[in-house]
Amino acid sequence: MLKKNRANGAVKSREETPKEGICSHE
């Protein structure tokens, strides 16, 4: 569940904030 949420957050963050997406991806 957390992994899926993290992946979704990364994608959303990528569109909103690319910097956040990178952090979320790691």
**Ordered DSSP codes for 1-26:** -HHHHHHHHHHHHHHH-HHHHHHHH-
26 contact partners, CB below 8 Å, separation of at least 6? none
- Model pLDDT, residue 1: 54
Tell whether the model's pLDDT for residue 5 goes beyond 60: yes
pLDDT digits (tens, 9 = 90+) for 16-26: 655 655 555 54
Tell me if 20 sits within 8 A of 13, measured CB to CB: yes
- Rounded to the nearest 5°, which phi and psi values hold at 17? -140, 105
- Model pLDDT, residue 8: 66
Rounded Cα–Cα distance for residues 17 and 24 (Å): 11
